């Protein structure tokens, strides 16, 4: 099942709460509803099933229903990135972690502009 962040808010206890819309095929959505039980909620306007969590998993992700019937986010990409960063450590590990985080979250920085050398001889000829 796929999830997409819809909104977030602070609970009455002051905890951040993230609300995700859940999508999937009919079988997956039925399993999700059964696993959620009394906690199953649907957006009244769109009919989209909702999943609430206090741990942000980014703007989108996937859900898994465990063998115990618990609904949890698929954090395998995060775990893999953390493992690689820890394996290599140092500057390389930091670079791997930054790149993986951008990839997982779908956030990409534009590359820094390359230094260019302007031909000053041509510029000085124009001044004559």
User: Is residue 15 pLDDT above 80, yes or no?
Assistant: yes
**pTM beyond cutoff 0.85:** no
* pLDDT value of position 70: 93
State the chain's mean pLDDT as an integer.
Answer: 83
Query: Rounded to the nearest 5°, which phi and psi values hold at 73?
Result: -75, 150
pLDDT class for 78, splitting at 50, 70, 90?
A: confident
User: Is residue 115 pLDDT above 60, yes or no?
Assistant: no
* pLDDT value of position 21: 98
* CA pair distance 75, 64, nearest whole angstrom: 10
* pLDDT value of position 44: 94
User: Is residue 84 pLDDT above 90, yes or no?
Assistant: no
Lowest mean pLDDT among 5-9, 25-29, 60-64, 86-90: 86-90
Closest CA to 71 of 49, 45, 43: 49
Closest CA to 22 of 10, 33, 37: 33
């Amino acid at each position: 099942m796929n999830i997409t962040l819809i909104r977030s808010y602070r609970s009455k206890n002051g905890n951040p709460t993230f609300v995700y819309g859940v999508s999937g095929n009919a079988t997956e959505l039925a399993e999700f509803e059964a696993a959620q039980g009394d906690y199953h909620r649907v957006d009244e306007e769109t009919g989209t099933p909702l999943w609430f969590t206090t741990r942000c998993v980014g703007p989108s992700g996937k859900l898994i229903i465990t063998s115990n019937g618990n609904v949890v986010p698929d954090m395998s990409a995060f775990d893999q990135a953390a493992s690689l960063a820890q394996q290599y450590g140092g500057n390389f590990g930091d670079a791997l972690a930054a790149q993986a985080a951008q990839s997982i979250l779908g956030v990409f920085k534009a590359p820094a502009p390359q230094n260019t050398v302007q031909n000053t001889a041509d510029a000085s000829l124009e001044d004559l």
